[in-house]
Amino acid sequence: MNLVERLRAWADRVLGASHVSAPQVRIYVDGCWRGLARDDIDARWHYMLSLTRNSSPKVGKVKLLLESTPERNNNLIVSAGRFVTMRLAFNQLLVHNIDKSHGVNAVKGSMSPLDGALFLEGYIW
């Protein structure tokens, strides 16, 4: 059974969802990062499967915005949020609601993809 079929079976059983997109490969090497943002897509869930080597505890930390509270202060909109940052181990799957912003902390070190953060990412609906 391939990755998409396994994810589809899991999503059907756990989330009540029946569709899983083919994964996209995302590689983050020295200086690369993803800012905290929501994906603009008509899906309910986002998944990330880490293929990052376990050799560096700093590589591949994923950040999720759990909740945000916008406030007005002198005509400026200021937002305070609660975040969680986690390092996904090799072959660890993260599935989160698409409404939650996510990002990847900057990778420091080598320009080699073997030493960077490597994820397979896609969507479930």
Confidence (pLDDT) at 68? 64
Architecture of the domain delimited by 21-124: Sandwich (2.60)
What's the pTM? Answer: 0.85
Domain extents in the chain:
21-124
Asked whether the beta carbons of 22 and 120 are under 8 A apart, the reply is no
Tens digit of pLDDT for each residue in 43-73? 999 999 999 987 666 677 999 988 766 666 6
pLDDT number for residue 76: 64
**Looking at per-residue confidence, does 12 or 74 come out higher?**
12
How are beta strands 93-97 and 45-50 bridged, if at all? antiparallel
Q: Give yes or no for residue 1 having a pLDDT over 90.
A: no
Alpha carbon of residue 37 to chain centroid: 10
The pLDDT assigned to 13 comes to 97
- The more confidently predicted of residues 115 and 70 is 115
